[in-house]
Amino acid sequence: MLEIAPSQQAAAWLGAFDKALEAGDIAAAANLFVDDCYWRDLLTFTWNVTTMEGREAIADMLKATLAATRPARWQLTGEATSDEGIIEAWFTFETAVASGQGIMRLRDGRCRTLFTAMTDLKGFEERKGATRPLGVRHKADPEREIWSEARARETRELGASEQPYCLVIGGGQGGIMLGARLRQLGVPSIVIEKNARPGDSWRKRYRTLVLHDPVWYDHLPYIPFPDNWPVFTPKDKMGDWLEMYTRVMELNYWVATRCVGASYDEAEKVWTVVVDRVGQHITLKPKHIVFATGAYGPARPIDLPGAGDFKGELLHSSQYSSGEKFRGKKTAVIGAASSGHDVCVDLWESGAEVTMIQRSPTTVVKSDTLMEVGFEIFSENALARGITTEKADMIVASTPFALVPKGQRALYDVIRTRDAAFYERLAAAGFALDFGDDETGLLMKAYRTGSGYYIDVGASDLIIDGKIGIRSGVAIKSLTVKGILFEDGSELEADAIIACTGYQSMNETVAQIVSREVADRVGPCWGLGSGVKGDPGPWQGELRNMWKPTAQEALWFHGGNLALSRFYSKYVALQIKARMEGIDTPVYGAVSNARR
Amino acid sequence: MLEIAPSQQAAAWLGAFDKALEAGDIAAAANLFVDDCYWRDLLTFTWNVTTMEGREAIADMLKATLAATRPARWQLTGEATSDEGIIEAWFTFETAVASGQGIMRLRDGRCRTLFTAMTDLKGFEERKGATRPLGVRHKADPEREIWSEARARETRELGASEQPYCLVIGGGQGGIMLGARLRQLGVPSIVIEKNARPGDSWRKRYRTLVLHDPVWYDHLPYIPFPDNWPVFTPKDKMGDWLEMYTRVMELNYWVATRCVGASYDEAEKVWTVVVDRVGQHITLKPKHIVFATGAYGPARPIDLPGAGDFKGELLHSSQYSSGEKFRGKKTAVIGAASSGHDVCVDLWESGAEVTMIQRSPTTVVKSDTLMEVGFEIFSENALARGITTEKADMIVASTPFALVPKGQRALYDVIRTRDAAFYERLAAAGFALDFGDDETGLLMKAYRTGSGYYIDVGASDLIIDGKIGIRSGVAIKSLTVKGILFEDGSELEADAIIACTGYQSMNETVAQIVSREVADRVGPCWGLGSGVKGDPGPWQGELRNMWKPTAQEALWFHGGNLALSRFYSKYVALQIKARMEGIDTPVYGAVSNARR
């Protein structure tokens, strides 16, 4: 029997799909999918970040959106590939208002997963490459305003005589990348940052912090790190890069500025936001506000009985910057996830005596291992195969969240075998290990709760060697004058306790700035609704409230690690740009507002 | 008759060449070249930047260098191409100490032009891509020095307890790019800059200055401009880019620092250099010094009879920054090349009355025209054809200087026809046009004298329209109390005179800093020895003294526009690195020291 080439099969499917959509024949379109199918869409059909799971959900979505979307010009790009019976093909298409691209995966001639994502709004394409701005009018002109004068005028006027269309609250990596995207789309925006300099959100963290993800995963849009950049970026070097990026990408970036309060006028469709800029209160009137205040929300308060009695120093990891003053002191670190481990190492390197208090089991993966088996498509090898960071981002995004656990379980089977001796030694030291409720490991913990994992860059050996003490499996009863009292009656003396107890949901920041009522209406951010501890159902299929419309009009959340911020900043910016240009943006799908 | 494919012909030639060199058969190797042949070498055989012209010169060079060079592993890269009977092929090769690459062009099976350039020193390859530094040791270590601490220590120690191996005098674009190259090669270096901030050499120039070359020609190494960068970069934006580049490339860059004096100890092989750093005298002991003090040297002094009598303001273009204070005033601009035109426009835009005094004819090309016909390989179109900036640089470098005029003459035939009406109007306005002694236009003027041309970005229309007055063809007799007296007895009243009279050779900077004797021994920089006015013979085949060994050991010149600085900074850095590592670097070919 002759095999039909993958590209031919993909073209046949895409042709049939196009025809069905063109004809408005939703049943025929839905019939092109297998039973256990998924369609993930970023804005093109739904003006939402949403995944339709199953044929019925797809049909329902098309019923609601097809007429207005008017998709057309579906075209394969490059050759399709085939792996274990699954054909993968990349394509482009258009809607009434946008150009799009996507990835489909076929099984037995029908679609298993479809991914569609907006590329550009028609007529509002980013000016780059051949369409970049000229930068100078080649004509003498006495009225000419030179670049530096235009920038100075913009800086002077925006937020004073001119109002920003969008206010980005938080000028860390997320706010900076979103600010760059918005500027490229011509959306007048201000990014406010509480620190004195761009990049301080990295610089002010603990001394030894180095990115745990490799450089290929960490690029910012527009200006990738150069080829000589180290694999793991030290925090201060990252700070310098963000500072230069903010400058050369021409962001309107207000330092030493905090948001005091914000309220939305539902009738006028405008926010009133009061900010404190270097001590001066300024009222802004943006049409949209974006919370980019960190991947998570405010620090989770340290809520331990007897905390008032403790005579030593008690601080949250977000307040910890160096172990220097703890040299020769007894220290206890509560928490056994990333920051818990990093703070323990920093304290030990500073000559403190350190005990880690582990309250629940942790997923640990050695950095070298993760680099080799977990970052395959973000690497020099991938680049050599033509998989740029942009392509790798699309590949990651093309897998619906519901299908991620399966691949991750397989990955952790490999990892546990590979590093079995390491895990045995760690367990023997009294450290409680897990790989998540369903053995899916680090990435799923990151998506579900953003907590409970550590990429080992040295702490585990210190635990194995007994250089970092470990107390695990015993709950804390209370703090005492001298230290910590456990439920089993044992005590741990400590001159200082560092609570690496994580962060609250981003919507708690909304409660502080807007109102409790709006924060509750919007509901928590992050998490998939997996039904595991810390991520209760119902199943969402996407991260709650992130990068998409929320229950509060004109209020958005943007955040995540460098990779997520890089990728999703584009879609947040496109949604805001479309609204600025008066393009109709009917949102399909319920907004997230489940409590957790 | 069957045509033999270009790649086969190229492979056959390269095989025969390899075999002849391998056998030490210099006659056979030379015989593989046509009569009117050229071999341009950047360091690989000659440890020099030099062009052998003719078979005999090639044989002489091989006699002197072949034994030590030990070339091998000649291999074609990619497919050869054929155009009008000339076959072009790219190749790589190795020597005893380095890897190299090159481009050959064959005519009737023999070599017309050969270009060989060093890629890396073996064992000292730049760490990038797959060999980039890891950036963190994945192990806890109480002695750990974090990145910011290491940088702070380096900043503190270099130039104090530790001596730089290389001192780069001048921190404009040339010094910055060279500093970046040296750092990547691990050569401890300091770049000194007289201004307060990196980029000020651009910021402090006249208000309306915008790069006349397009972005594709202007990239810096390691961090190219992003895709959204304007075609023509405004001066202040360029300044900001240089400032961020200096920071993120981790240069040891001393601002507000001037070189007071320098002397070389021939016995100890070390320089003693006194610098004034923010008012404090510091003595440095580098092994090498590089003058990167500008494409040219100090401003050419304004030497006009009666200058003392003139009651208005008299300044050199290097001192001119804005026309604002000349609003409503009568101004005269002496000089009709680039800065003369730009200053005239700036004055006119500021509301001054302007007359340009043209002392000799000027080559003028419209910017749009030059973009379309002159920058073909530095463009989006070129990128789309796979010609990156790196490849375009190699293509430019592969043409020996002796063959450039022919191509340029052909280009200017096209340009003159295309813009005939424009040139007629300009001549009708009284402006004296030329295209160089031999009709080769702008580029050859740039190489030969670095003067006498203007890329029109608006001034010519003002001259045509009479908005900028023009006095041409009449010499200045003297200045008077009120203005300028010409040889024909006419007078021009002026409240201010701006002398756009250009710059002296870079070796005049050496005279100021080292000594007259060393400056004279080294001789002038720039120019090819073309035998035209300002560039007397003998013919050099290369730019005098630029980027290569000079008559003064351990003294180097680096400069040129962004493109030349980008390309040649690599070779300056490789020469200095080789000497630092004790690699034998026998220089073949006479150094430039002809007076001009």
What are the strands of the beta sheet with A72-83, ordered from one edge?
A: A49-53, A33-42, A110-121, A98-107, A86-94, A72-83
Q: Does B287 score more than 90 pLDDT?
A: yes
pLDDT at B295: 65
Interchain pair B462, A140: CB under 8 A: yes
- With bands split at pLDDT 50, 70 and 90, how would you rate the model's confidence at A1? very low
Which chain A residues contact residue B342 at CB under 8 A? Answer: none
Element (H, E) at A492: strand A491-493
Spatial distance between the Cα atoms of A179 and B542, rounded to a whole number of angstroms: 48
pLDDT tens for B97-153 read 999 999 999 999 999 999 999 999 999 999 999 999 988 766 778 788 899 999 999
Q: How far B45 CA sits from the closest chain A CA (Å)?
A: 28
- The residue of chain B with its CA nearest to that of A239 is B248
pLDDT tens for B35-73 read 999 999 999 999 999 999 999 999 999 999 999 999 999
Q: How far A553 CA sits from the closest chain B CA (Å)?
A: 31
Testing the interface with B: which of A120, A127, A134, A138 to mutate, by most B Cβ within 10 A?
A138
Query: Taking Cα atoms as reference points, which of A19, A66, A18, A28 lies closest to residue A44?
Result: A66
The first and second tokens of residue A200, run together, are 């301080």
pLDDT tens for A514-561 read 999 999 999 999 999 999 988 999 999 999 999 999 999 999 999 999
**Pseudo-torsion of CA B151, B155, B158, B160, nearest 10°?**
-140
- In angstroms, the Cα distances linking A411 to A92, A337, A372, A373, A415 are 31, 20, 11, 8, 6
Testing the interface with B: which of A205, A215, A227, A237 to mutate, by most B Cβ within 10 A?
A227
Testing the interface with A: which of B147, B211, B381 to mutate, by most A Cβ within 10 A?
B147
pLDDT at A2: 55
Say if CB A203 and CB A237 are below 8 A apart.
Answer: no
> At B252, phi and psi to the nearest 5?
-90, 100
Testing the interface with A: which of B149, B183, B206, B227 to mutate, by most A Cβ within 10 A?
B227
pLDDT tens for A260-302 read 999 999 999 999 999 999 999 999 999 999 999 986 678 887 7
Interval A401-425 mean pLDDT: 96
The first and second tokens of residue A586, run together, are 């009917």
Query: Taking Cα atoms as reference points, which of B267, B184, B122, B186 lies closest to residue B583?
Result: B122
End-to-end CA distance of chain B: 54
- With bands split at pLDDT 50, 70 and 90, how would you rate the model's confidence at A596? very low
Q: Which of A234, A368, A457 faces B148 most closely, judged by CB atoms?
A: A234
Interchain pair B140, A348: CB under 8 A: yes
pLDDT tens for A481-520 read 999 999 999 999 999 999 998 888 888 999 999 999 999 9
pLDDT at B216: 96
Which chain A residues contact residue B128 at CB under 8 A? Answer: 226-228
Interchain pair B140, A229: CB under 8 A: no
Spatial distance between the Cα atoms of B341 and A460, rounded to a whole number of angstroms: 68
Interchain pair B140, A223: CB under 8 A: no
- The residue of chain A with its CA nearest to that of B185 is A228
Which chain B residues contact residue A247 at CB under 8 A? Answer: 240, 243-244
- With bands split at pLDDT 50, 70 and 90, how would you rate the model's confidence at B296? low
Count of Cβ atoms closer than 10 Å to residue A193 Cβ: 25
The first and second tokens of residue A49, run together, are 């970040």
Say if CB B214 and CB B232 are below 8 A apart.
Answer: yes
Burial class (CB within 10 angstroms; exposed 0-12, middle 13-18, buried 19+) of A84:
exposed
pLDDT at B475: 93
- In angstroms, the Cα distances linking B431 to A270, A465, B324, B371 are 59, 84, 26, 23
CA B163 to chain CA centroid, Å, is: 28
Single-letter amino acid, residue B373 = V
Say if CB A257 and CB A192 are below 8 A apart.
Answer: yes
Q: How far B312 CA sits from the closest chain A CA (Å)?
A: 24
Query: Taking Cα atoms as reference points, which of A153, A171, A152, A160 lies closest to residue A259?
Result: A171
Q: Does A124 score more than 90 pLDDT?
A: yes
Interchain pair B232, A142: CB under 8 A: no
Sign of the C-alpha dihedral computed for residues B485, B490, B494 and B498 taken in this order = negative
Upstream peptide bond of B536 is cis (omega within 30 degrees of 0): no
Spatial distance between the Cα atoms of A241 and B248, rounded to a whole number of angstroms: 6
Spatial distance between the Cα atoms of B434 and B432, rounded to a whole number of angstroms: 7
Count of Cβ atoms closer than 10 Å to residue B442 Cβ: 24
Q: How far A462 CA sits from the closest chain B CA (Å)?
A: 7
Say if CB B106 and CB B56 are below 8 A apart.
Answer: no
Which chain A residues contact residue B232 at CB under 8 A? Answer: 134-136
Upstream peptide bond of A538 is cis (omega within 30 degrees of 0): yes
Which chain B residues contact residue A129 at CB under 8 A? Answer: 227, 380, 383
- In angstroms, the Cα distances linking B291 to A226, B311, B551 are 27, 37, 14
Query: Taking Cα atoms as reference points, which of A460, A481, A479, A463 lies closest to residue A471?
Result: A463
Which chain A residues contact residue B223 at CB under 8 A? Answer: 223, 226
Interval B276-286 mean pLDDT: 97
Q: Does B594 score more than 70 pLDDT?
A: no
- The residue of chain A with its CA nearest to that of B350 is A142
Map tokens 């910021």 to a residue: B203
Which chain B residues contact residue A230 at CB under 8 A? Answer: 132-136
Which chain A residues contact residue B247 at CB under 8 A? Answer: 240, 243-244
Quote the mean pLDDT of chain B: 94
What is this structure's pTM? 0.93
The first and second tokens of residue B329, run together, are 């005033």
DSSP string, B486-520: ETTS-EEE-SEEEE---B--THHHHHHHT-HHHHH
Q: How far A446 CA sits from the closest chain B CA (Å)?
A: 22
End-to-end CA distance of chain A: 54
pLDDT tens for B205-260 read 888 888 888 999 999 999 999 999 999 999 999 999 999 999 999 999 999 999 99
Interchain pair A138, B207: CB under 8 A: no
Residue B546's SS3 state is strand
Interchain pair A138, B367: CB under 8 A: yes
pLDDT tens for B409-419 read 999 999 999 99
Q: How far A346 CA sits from the closest chain B CA (Å)?
A: 8
Map tokens 């690497």 to a residue: A379
- With bands split at pLDDT 50, 70 and 90, how would you rate the model's confidence at A590? confident
pLDDT at B90: 98
B592 or A31, higher pLDDT: A31
Say if CB A31 and CB A571 are below 8 A apart.
Answer: no
The first and second tokens of residue B437, run together, are 């002694």
Q: How far A590 CA sits from the closest chain B CA (Å)?
A: 36
Quote the mean pLDDT of chain A: 94
pLDDT at A137: 64
Burial class (CB within 10 angstroms; exposed 0-12, middle 13-18, buried 19+) of A37:
buried
Which chain A residues contact residue B129 at CB under 8 A? Answer: 227, 380, 383
Q: Where are the alpha helices (H) located in A100-234, listed in sequence order?
A: 147-157, 173-184, 200-203, 215-218
Q: How far B74 CA sits from the closest chain A CA (Å)?
A: 24
Single-letter amino acid, residue A452 = G
Interchain pair B232, A380: CB under 8 A: no
Interval B325-346 mean pLDDT: 95
- With bands split at pLDDT 50, 70 and 90, how would you rate the model's confidence at A404? very high
pLDDT tens for A314-366 read 999 988 888 889 999 999 999 999 989 999 999 999 999 999 999 999 999 99
Which chain B residues contact residue A148 at CB under 8 A? Answer: 234, 236-237
Q: Which of B147, B223, B229 faces A236 most closely, judged by CB atoms?
A: B147
Spatial distance between the Cα atoms of B559 and B216, rounded to a whole number of angstroms: 19
- The residue of chain A with its CA nearest to that of B368 is A138
Beta carbons within 8 Å of A424's beta carbon, 6+ residues apart: none
Which chain A residues contact residue B184 at CB under 8 A? Answer: 228
Task: Print burial letters for B58-78: b (CB count within 10 Å at least 16), e (below 16).
Answer: bbbbbeebbeebebeebebee
- The residue of chain A with its CA nearest to that of B456 is A138
Testing the interface with B: which of A120, A228, A240 to mutate, by most B Cβ within 10 A?
A228
- In angstroms, the Cα distances linking B109 to B2, B4, B21, B89, B395 are 15, 11, 18, 12, 21
Spatial distance between the Cα atoms of A214 and B135, rounded to a whole number of angstroms: 10
Q: How far B297 CA sits from the closest chain A CA (Å)?
A: 28
Spatial distance between the Cα atoms of B113 and B115, rounded to a whole number of angstroms: 7
Percent of chain A having pLDDT more than 90?
86
Spatial distance between the Cα atoms of B510 and B502, rounded to a whole number of angstroms: 18
β-pair partners for B192: B169, B254
Angle between helical axes of B235-248 and A235-248 (0-180°, round to 10): 170
Length of chain B counted residue by residue: 596
Interchain pair B228, A184: CB under 8 A: yes
DSSP string, B47-93: SSEEEEESHHHHHHHHHHHHHHH--EEEEEEEEEEEETTEEEEEEEE
- The residue of chain A with its CA nearest to that of B240 is A248
- The residue of chain B with its CA nearest to that of A382 is B130
Beta carbons within 8 Å of B180's beta carbon, 6+ residues apart: B220, B221, B222, B245, B249, B251, B569
Q: Where are the alpha helices (H) located in A398-478, listed in sequence order?
A: 404-418, 420-428, 441-448, 459-464
Testing the interface with A: which of B134, B153, B223, B463 to mutate, by most A Cβ within 10 A?
B223
Interchain pair A248, B240: CB under 8 A: yes
Interchain pair B349, A226: CB under 8 A: no
Q: How far B468 CA sits from the closest chain A CA (Å)?
A: 11
> At A555, phi and psi to the nearest 5?
-120, 125
Q: Which of B142, B151, B208 faces A351 most closely, judged by CB atoms?
A: B142
Q: Does B596 score more than 50 pLDDT?
A: no
Q: How far B142 CA sits from the closest chain A CA (Å)?
A: 4
β-pair partners for B364: B454
- The residue of chain A with its CA nearest to that of B224 is A223
Spatial distance between the Cα atoms of B422 and A284, rounded to a whole number of angstroms: 52
Spatial distance between the Cα atoms of B437 and A401, rounded to a whole number of angstroms: 71
Burial class (CB within 10 angstroms; exposed 0-12, middle 13-18, buried 19+) of A305:
exposed
pLDDT at A355: 98
Rg (CA), chain A: 25
pLDDT tens for A39-66 read 999 999 999 999 999 999 999 999 999 9
Single-letter amino acid, residue A523 = G
pLDDT tens for B372-391 read 888 889 999 999 999 999 99
pLDDT tens for B221-232 read 999 999 999 999
Q: Is beta strand B555-557 parallel, antiparallel or unpaired with respect to B288-291? A: parallel
